[in-house]
Amino acid sequence: MRILLIHSDYLEYEITSKTKIAEEIEDSLKKGRMEDCLSVFVAVEIGDDDSVIDKTFNEIEEVSKSVKTEKIFLYPYAHLSNNLAPPELAVKLLKDLEIKLKSKYEIKRAPFGYYKAFKVSCKGHPLSELSRSITSQGGGEVVSEALKAEERIKSSWYILDPSLNLIPQDKFDFKNHDSLKKLTEYEVTHSRKVDMVPPHVEYMKNLELVDYEKGSDPGNLRWYPKGVLIKRLLETQVTDSILDYGGMEVETPIMYSITHPMLSKYLNRFPARQYIVKSGADDYFLRFAACFGQYLMKHDMIISYKDLPLRLYELTRYSFRREQRGELVGLRRLRAFTMPDMHTLAPSMGDATNEFIEQFKLSMKWMDGLGLNYEVAIRFVKSFYDENRDFVERLMSLINRPVLVEMWNERPFYFVMKFEFNFVDSLNKASALSTVQIDIENTERFEIKYFDEEGKEKYPLMLHASISGAIERNLYALLETAYIESKKGKKPMLPLWLSPTQARVLPVGEEQLDYSLKILEELERSGIRVDIDDRDLRLGKKIRDAEKDWVPYIIVIGEDEIKNSTLNIRSREDSSQKNTTVEEFKNNILEIVKGKPTRPLPLPRKLSLRASFR
């Protein structure tokens, strides 16, 4: 916040015109005058929050004592800064400052968002003109009003069982529901910080998938070839599922003007911290999802009732949220991430709940396809829950097990309900993956309309859906699952379709190398990701290295295999070992990965030609 303090004989103003961001005022405030006062010209800046109020009050108090006045005139003055906060936040902080000053001073405040003619007479003594720059305690980010509301508003926690009994969470018997208990404890205590490094971090580094990038902001990672392969396969799979469902893929910018009247209002309705970037003298925020671009696109569309439900989809590579430092760890919580994001327009609440059910099923199919265990959390505004019990019953019939419910008496956000599929990791921390929300605000805020059967314009409802959740968080869940399984005595591994190397050929000696290369080429032609350990090493060392790389199938080729035209296959999944033909092996792998996307091997096929990334 920047302030210019002028000890004045008088300050007077009169409104000349109204801007799009003007606050609503009474006629009595269209002009005003105060004599013998301290005129405080104020600009609220990006990064300002409630903590600047006390600091600004103290600065004004100090100057008012020096010039011996108890009359303060607050005057919004944007020209003091080129780093202005969103209008809603600016008005809020100005009003908060006004209220605090009223406890001690006679106060007048000029209205925000109007062009005004004004006159000021400066007294001209050495202390009559002073300026101050006040920074918030946090700085460097925008904290939305929704995020503050989330911390302020009290919610009630329940367990909803398949019989639709809503049981207070502290009265529920969690016997045989250990994972649900962990999710409940995590959510109710709201403990997000991580006190120790989760196991998936060691896995992601040792497998050369992804690593921290010291040259960037924390929460922005470097991805190695094998990690990129897994990301792209996950991205392709979720995109294909949404396109099959009827989503239309679009692409939108990653940054938007923070002073855009529609966008600035939405910023304060979403519970997230924002990155701010500069372009010349203008300020922009980095998107945290595909919402902004898709809203503006829908605003410009001509939509008929025949077009509904209308689904726009974007794979946002990347989205940005300035998460707090203590919560950043590995792949679980990042500041830059890939979010598959779909927004659906529906004409009525009945249509919206039907879409919700279908997108819920799509999310279940995604989670089950990855083999992930998950717990369900559903968040309701109480009035919506009470009015839509039939919908709740339909939803619970799909889940058929107890779920965690958070109930709000008032609506802190733009949605009336949402669900999340939560993965509980080895440290008992929960992370949301799939999610769908029913939004009742933003079509009106962004003037998104459709024409009904009678040709009249109406506002639809909107669903926000991420069928998979953040792609990086899916890999986190897979690696954590591998660790949890290893504690049960199983070898850690990834699903076959996501394994960077699906099979590795190990010639016993140099004399088997040429034949082994022919086997590799035959498997490659079938679309299998296969490499060969052609290094001059003992077989035992090659096998151990393949185990370290989590290779699902190890193919050992010695004299007997060449003589009998067979392959000796070692399976990582069950530690079995058997002899089979090339054709049988190919058919087995291709049947397992049937229907899944594929990509070529991300590294040189010969291990002797590979550089180490760590």
Q: Which two tokens stand for residue 62?
A: 């100090």
Check whether residue 522 and residue 578 sit in a common domain: yes
pLDDT score for 139: 44
Same-domain status, 348 and 306: yes
Residues annotated within a binding site: 291, 343, 464
| Same domain assignment for residues 303 and 399 | yes
Tokens of 57: 């009050």
Query: Vertex 97, ends 126 and 133: CA angle to 5°?
Result: 45
Residue of 527, 525, 508, 507 whose CA lies nearest to 517: 507
> Same domain, yes or no, for 114 and 187?
no
Q: What is the distance between the alpha carbons of residues 401 and 376, in angstroms, rounded to a whole number?
A: 9
70 belongs to a structural domain: yes
- The residues with which 531 forms a beta bridge, in sequence order, are 504
pLDDT at 146 over 70: no
Q: What is the pLDDT of residue 600?
A: 97
Q: Does 312 map to a domain?
A: yes
Instruction: Answer with the one of 453, 481, 509 that is the final residue of a domain.
Output: 481
pLDDT at site 260: 80
* 442-472 residue pLDDT tens: 999 899 999 999 999 999 999 999 999 999 9
Segments forming the whole domain that contains residue 128: 2-140
Binding residues for Zn(2+): 291, 343, 464
Q: Is the pLDDT of residue 562 over 90?
A: yes
pTM: 0.78
Q: Please report whether residue 487 resides in a domain.
A: no
Domain end call among 102, 119, 140: 140
Measuring CA to CA, how many Å separate 167 from each of 107, 376, 395?
51, 15, 17
Indicate whether 478 pLDDT > 80: yes
What percentage of the chain has pLDDT greater than the value 90? 81
**CATH number of the domain bearing residue 597:** 3.40.50.800
CATH number at 6 reads: 3.50.80.10
Q: What is the mean pLDDT of residues 329-340?
A: 94
417 and 521: one domain? no
481, 511, 545 — which closes off a domain?
481
Whichever domain contains 162, its CATH number is 3.30.930.10
Number of domains composing the chain: 3
Phi, then psi, of 516 in degrees rounded to 5: -60, -35
Whether 486 is covered by a domain: the verdict is no
Same domain? For 512 and 573 the reply is yes
pLDDT for 46: 82
